[in-house]
């Protein structure tokens, strides 16, 4: 069985304080952290119990920052060593220690790193990405497409090796001018994919069949954007929930969702880097790869 699992536990806190984020500088209590740890460790045990010939991808999509917590570091390292794991990845602000990666399988671990120029320096962030390079870990880096971050995003792009992909998350509430679109696209050749709301109602989507979300108590949903549960990961019958489904939302505009929309064929753009958002080399240059366009 081939399945990607997006895990989001009860954690809801972060060491950074981005103004637009509800988790900025929020603190979990000791009890809440203990609950989060127990939920994550239960999840890791469950994945570890799956057959060795399954092909499981895991992406941790926390509310807040998970990789400053030892239990996530240890769990990611352990998952990466399992034969049934094809990729284990996490979204992170990359502020935490990276020494735990020494215990991980570098070919299976990957990180989705967001650069927050108001909370770290470019030099400190680049020191962290250089460590990932030295350890052979796949990663993407990116910046939220706020106008005030444009200069920092350009500086990041210029400082990183050309082969390192830099994504820009389009802020859908902003009406970018044509010049702004071109400027963001000069940093991220795939920016227009993310800047689009892709029509999805009634469309075939792998979410719920090839990919699911699992929360701290095991509740399975097809994706983070449709709240109806489809099963529980800790029930013996959980695999029966993995069936084809058409999307019930009007549109889909987040990478972790629309990459599963069949008609976009983004598996050809991202291939094995789908979870950590690393496109194939041709797409990093937007050359030689057919990119999706809005249906007529």
Where do contacts with ligand SF4 occur on this chain (CB under 6 A)? 14, 16-18, 21, 23-24, 64-65, 93, 116, 200, 205, 207, 222-223, 225-226, 247, 249, 252, 257-258, 260-261
User: Is the Cβ of residue 125 or residue 258 nearer to ligand SF4 in the bound state?
Assistant: 258
Q: How far is the CB of 167 from ligand SF4 (least distance, A)?
A: 15
Question: Which candidate, 251, 266, 262, places its Cα nearest to that of 198?
Answer: 251
User: Is the Cβ of residue 136 or residue 244 nearer to ligand SF4 in the bound state?
Assistant: 244
For residue 229, CA distances in Å to 33, 219, 224, 253 come to 24, 6, 11, 21
- Cα four-point dihedral sign 64, 275, 198, 286: positive
User: Is the Cβ of residue 79 or residue 207 nearer to ligand SF4 in the bound state?
Assistant: 207
Per the CB < 8 A criterion, the answer to whether 160 and 170 are in contact is no
How far is residue 254's CA from residue 251's CA, in Å, rounded to a whole number?
Answer: 10
Q: How far is the CB of 96 from ligand SF4 (least distance, A)?
A: 11
User: Is the Cβ of residue 19 or residue 236 nearer to ligand SF4 in the bound state?
Assistant: 19
How far is residue 58's CA from residue 90's CA, in Å, rounded to a whole number?
Answer: 8
Q: How far is the CB of 240 from ligand SF4 (least distance, A)?
A: 19
Q: How far is the CB of 72 from ligand SF4 (least distance, A)?
A: 14
Q: How far is the CB of 293 from ligand SF4 (least distance, A)?
A: 17
How far is residue 48's CA from residue 198's CA, in Å, rounded to a whole number?
Answer: 35
**The token pair that represents 23 in the structure block:** 């988790």
Q: How far is the CB of 26 from ligand SF4 (least distance, A)?
A: 8
User: Is the Cβ of residue 82 or residue 207 nearer to ligand SF4 in the bound state?
Assistant: 207
How far is residue 259's CA from residue 270's CA, in Å, rounded to a whole number?
Answer: 9
Q: How far is the CB of 168 from ligand SF4 (least distance, A)?
A: 15
User: Is the Cβ of residue 109 or residue 264 nearer to ligand SF4 in the bound state?
Assistant: 264
User: Is the Cβ of residue 78 or residue 208 nearer to ligand SF4 in the bound state?
Assistant: 208
How far is residue 17's CA from residue 282's CA, in Å, rounded to a whole number?
Answer: 36
If one counts every other C-beta atom within 10 angstroms of the C-beta of residue 132, the result is: 21
**The token pair that represents 44 in the structure block:** 């890791």
Q: To 10 degrees, the CA torsion angle through 201, 140, 190, 171?
A: 60
Alpha helices in the chain (DSSP H): 30-48, 70-80, 122-135, 150-159, 178-187, 191-194, 255-258, 267-270, 281-284
How far is residue 233's CA from residue 213's CA, in Å, rounded to a whole number?
Answer: 10
């Amino acid at each position: 069985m081939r399945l990607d699992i997006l895990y989001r536990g009860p954690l809801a806190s972060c060491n950074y304080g981005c103004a637009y984020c509800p988790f900025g500088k929020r603190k979990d209590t000791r009890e809440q952290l203990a609950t989060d740890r127990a939920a994550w460790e239960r999840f890791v045990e469950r994945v570890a119990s799956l057959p060795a010939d399954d092909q499981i991808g895991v992406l941790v999509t926390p509310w807040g920052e998970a990789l400053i917590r030892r239990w996530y570091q240890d769990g990611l390292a352990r998952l990466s060593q399992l034969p049934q794991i094809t990729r284990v990845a996490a979204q992170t602000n990359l502020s935490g220690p990276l020494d735990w990666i020494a215990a991980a399988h570098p070919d299976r671990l990957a990180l989705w790193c967001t650069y927050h120029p108001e909370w770290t320096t470019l030099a400190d962030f680049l020191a962290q990405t250089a460590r990932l390079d030295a350890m052979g870990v796949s990663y993407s880096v990116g910046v939220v497409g706020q106008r005030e971050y444009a200069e920092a995003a350009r500086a990041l792009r210029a400082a990183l090796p050309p082969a390192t992909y830099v994504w820009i998350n389009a802020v859908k509430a902003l009406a970018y001018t044509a010049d702004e679109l071109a400027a963001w696209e000069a940093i991220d050749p795939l920016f227009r994919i993310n800047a689009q709301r892709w029509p999805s109602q009634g469309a075939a989507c792998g979410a719920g069949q090839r990919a699911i979300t699992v929360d701290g108590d095991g509740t399975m949903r097809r994706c983070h954007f449709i709240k109806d549960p489809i099963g529980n990961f800790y029930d013996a019958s959980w695999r029966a929930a993995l069936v084809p489904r058409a999307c019930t939302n009007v549109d889909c505009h987040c990478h972790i969702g629309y990459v599963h929309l069949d008609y976009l064929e983004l598996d050809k753009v991202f291939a094995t880097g789908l979870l950590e958002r690393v496109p194939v080399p041709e797409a990093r240059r937007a050359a030689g790869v057919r990119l999706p366009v809005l249906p007529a």
